[in-house]
Copies of this chain bind each other. A is one copy, B any other.
Amino acid sequence: MLNNLMKTRPVDLETIFHPRSIAVYGASGGFLNAGTRFIMSFQESGFPGPIYAVNPKGSPAENFPTFKTLVDIPGPVDHVYIAVPAGAVIDVVKDCVAKGVHSAIVFSSGFREIGTSEGLAMEKEIAEIARAGGVRLFGPNCMGIYCPSAKLSYRVDFKMMKSPLSFISQSGGVAITGVNTAEDRGVGFEKVVSFGNECDVTSAEMITHLEKDPATEIIMAYIEGSGNPRRLISAMEQAGRKKPVIVLKSGMSEEGNRAVSSHTGALAGSQSAWEAALKQANAINAQSFDEFIDTALTFHRVKRPAGKRLCIISISGGMCVLLTDLAIRMGFEVPTLSRSTMDGLKEFFPGVGTSVKNPIDLAATFFNPGNLNKLFSILDKDDQIDAIVFLISIEFVISIDKRIPGFMDNMAQVFAEEVSKVEKPIMTSVLYSTRDDIRRDFVKPLVDHKQVVYPTVDRALSSLNHMMRYYNTRDQRHDKGH
């Protein structure tokens, strides 16, 4: 009786993110076999519970606990990973029901997305079996769950860093690139789900879960399409009243739509309808992958500015001019600084070759590390500016480092410390122009000091625009009692 009840009332998603044990179907042979790779990932991520292989043909590795079927495994199995050919998935899902597992990830592809009636029929069948049996299915054609706080990872290269960002992605590749990119920029995740064809657990359901999840402060969603767009948008709107929902929607063009259908078999829908709906939901509509990641990091790390008045700082006069044009084009203001700021700055700036107006061209005065503290202290007191944007071209620093060894490391350290003490919102951009390897060394202290480093000022300002628009809209709607 109890057993029956468990089968028909599935566990909630939060429990699914924290399984007690995992079994993998389809592991055989070396690292190039997907199933074996998943087992290695679960092991290396430090998953604390038992990990089993299910394979009637034998173990994927010596002495690895392997069973002929799922029900042979003694004790509970909460989470099952299915990496067998599409035609074999139905029987595996039946085994999951028989065993009473909480959730199954269907990694296998070859369902709705291949465009055949057989593929669609198989997908419907596995969904029905799972639903009737109380098992929650992710996918098919997906990579599943990454949850650092549960020490659960399907990739060996994920760093298990935690943060209040959660991310659902219809594409496995976009999930991987997103996690790698954010982690590389010093920001981890609370929960990441690659959900593919969403035959059972849907994006809408996950967003509603993340809305209520106290560990999640920022929701990211890569969406190709949806079987129920109205419900998805409604979940976004609801969640957006409490926390930002940042969306990367692909398949916006007709040709992109066609590509979506062969990727996850989703219906992408019309661009204008999506754009209007996302706007109405106060969801942040990122225009590119980079913008998607940048915006999430900005919400997490950058303070909300009181207004759009920027102070722009660089060490090249030409870059200062280009950035000022850019900021104006993007809807910001670059006002002249207050009299007292200019007077204060003049005290330690030589009169020639630098400028103490706005933009501020520091030129070589940048390289006297003591100047940065004075500069930021003065700017922090200026009530004519709301935020600071600082651009560094790494090659100016490299060329000195060649002559004065250790100069760059010291400069990078001092710069990071001073930037992290600034009270106003500040965004630093270190150009990807030359020597990416040395740039990395320069950027590291900034990342260690919890700064978002943008490769271009354009990208910094795009995400700042998104953040300001989101909060302003939320405030306005709140005032109107929405």
Contacts of A317 in B (CB 8 A): 171, 173, 259, 262-264
- Contact across chains for A318 and B254 when beta carbons are under 8 A apart: no
- Contact across chains for A436 and B439 when beta carbons are under 8 A apart: yes
Query: In the complex, which residues 160-203 of chain A have their Cβ closer than 8 Å to any Cβ of chain B?
Result: 169-174, 176-177, 180-181, 183-184
Contacts of A319 in B (CB 8 A): 171, 173-174, 177, 289
Copy tally for this chain in the complex stands at 2
Interface status of A245 (Cβ within 8 A of chain B): no
- Contact across chains for A177 and B393 when beta carbons are under 8 A apart: yes
- A173-B317, A396-B176, A433-B184 given; A110·B352 CB < 8 A: yes
Contact with B along A333-373 (1 / 0, CB 8 A): 11010000000000000011101011101000000000000
Contact partner of A157 (CB less than 8 A), chosen from B358, B398, B404, is: B398
- A114-B352, A157-B398, A318-B173 given; A184·B435 CB < 8 A: yes
Contact with B along A237-266 (1 / 0, CB 8 A): 000000000001011111110111011100
Contact partner of A255 (CB less than 8 A), chosen from B32, B263, B334, B351, is: B334
Contact partner of A433 (CB less than 8 A), chosen from B109, B180, B321, B329, is: B180
Closest CB pairs A-B (n = 10): A171-B318, A173-B316, A253-B328, A263-B317, A174-B318, A436-B436, A184-B434, A256-B325, A250-B321, A256-B324
| Known interface pairs A156-B399, A177-B433, A180-B433; 12 further A-B residue pairs with C-beta atoms within 8 A, sorted by A's residue number | A31-B400, A86-B352, A109-B353, A114-B351, A170-B318, A173-B393, A180-B395, A259-B317, A263-B317, A263-B321, A288-B456, A432-B436
